[in-house]
Amino acid sequence: MTRLTTLLTTVAAAAALGAFGMAAQAQEDCPRGDLDDRFCDRDGDLIADIPEESDQWLDPDTLVFAYTPVEDPAVYKTAWADFLTHLEAETGKEVMFFPVQSNAAQIEAMRSGRLHISGFNTGSNPLAVNCAGFRPFTIMAAPDGSFGYEMEIITYPDSGIESIEDIKGGKLAFTSPTSNSGFKAPSAILKADYDMIPDRDFEPVFSGKHDNSILGVANKDYPAAAVANSVMGRMIERDVVAEDQIVSIYKSQTFPTTGYGVVYNLTPELQEKIQNAFFNFEWEGSSLLEEFEKNGEGQFIPITYQEYWEVIRKIDAANDVSYACE
């Protein structure tokens, strides 16, 4: 080896070591865990930090709000009307209701900067947090502070299905792969407790939404379905389906319900105003109470994603779910 070759090799090695050192330093300066490369999590709370540089902050003239796409969007545009008026007063900005049609579309809207405030369903929260920079801070609760819903597996009277085992050889309706109660939780429970796996023991079908699954069972289009009982309760209250059209054969532990929050890069002042709007909203006599008191809900309570979504992350781990962002 010539002296020149040795020198070039040494320089290349030093450059590689320097690049490695800079990458390591960058990772140390911006730890992110499972978050997408665009985000940092310096405080270790598992959600994206607000950017440190003000030139990365977002301060839109119009704030876009979306509620999780579980039922007819028109119903929920009316239900959220009073709250959105309150949000306008608290922030000094116009607020627009965005009727999303799917969990994937909702996450993509926030990821692309078109959605600023949102309620993501239980199962979508981890993907929204990791891929879209969602910062959840509240959920709905009853006046006594209790909260949550259960996953139920339902059928219709005289379907011939009286237990979970009776689903074998038939169809089971799920909602979407990102839904906790509509797919992830029942998949984990069926596998762990009943040794039942989709395609091997039953045919999985996807309805798209909880209301589609519930209506499908009530109308005998699906022999059985896994659904969130909070959605089912509201549909029964509105006489969309009758209680005697549904038979429940399984009820899970209680899960956290829809998580509400903001995209990570709104200005800190705006994020604080939005949080205040949730926590000082007067429910009494509001359109929000009229809709959600059907589930016994009547206030917003503060939460952390790290604590309240731990059980959901465990279910995802049991299902080998990855939070990889496309």
Flag whether pLDDT at 12 surpasses 50. Answer: no
pTM to 2 decimal places: 0.78
Residue bearing tokens 């839109």: 60
- What digits encode the pLDDT tens for the residues 43-85? 999 999 999 999 999 999 999 999 988 667 778 899 999 999 9
d(CA 160, CA 156): 9
Q: Determine the Cα–Cα distance for residues 52 and 36; give it in Å rounded to an integer.
A: 17
Angle between helices 125-132 and 103-111 (to 10 degrees): 20
Q: What is the 3-state secondary structure (H, E, C) of 21-54?
A: HHHHHHHHHCCCCCCCCCCCCCCCCCCCCCCCCH
pLDDT reported for residue 128: 97
pLDDT, residue 70, reads 63
How many Cα atoms sit within 13 Å of 251 on the Cβ side? 8
Assess contact for 70 and 228: CB atoms under 8 A.
yes
pLDDT tens-digit series, residues 251-263: 998 899 999 999 9
Running DSSP on this structure, what letter comes out for residue 195? -
Report the pLDDT value the prediction gives residue 24, as an integer from 0 to 100: 43
Q: In the prediction, which pLDDT does 10 show?
A: 44
DSSP 300-315: EEE--HHHHTHHHHHH
Both tokens of residue 35? 């978050």
315: number of Cβ within 10 Å: 22
What local confidence, expressed as pLDDT, does residue 169 receive?
97
Task: Average the pLDDT over 298-322 and give the result.
Answer: 92
Residue 124: what residue type?
S
Reported as a pLDDT band with limits 50, 70 and 90, residue 318 is: confident
Indicate the average pLDDT of the chain. 90
Give residue 324's pLDDT. Answer: 77
* CB-CB neighbours of 60 under 10 Å: 14
Q: Give 75-122 pLDDT, tens digit per residue.
A: 889 999 999 999 999 999 999 999 988 889 999 999 999 999 999 999
* CB proximity list for 181: less than 8 A, separation 6 or greater: 122, 123, 149, 150, 151, 175, 210, 226, 227, 228, 252, 255
H or E segment at 15?
helix 3-29
Both tokens assigned to 254? 């209680």
Q: Give me the mean pLDDT over the 209-236 stretch.
A: 95
Q: How far apart are CA 147 and CA 142, in angstroms?
A: 6
CB atoms within 10 A of CB 110: 25
pLDDT tens digits for range 175-206: 999 899 999 999 999 998 999 999 999 999 99
Here the tokens at position 77 are 């545009």
Residue with the two structure tokens 């992350």 = 313
Tokens representing 127 are 């993907």
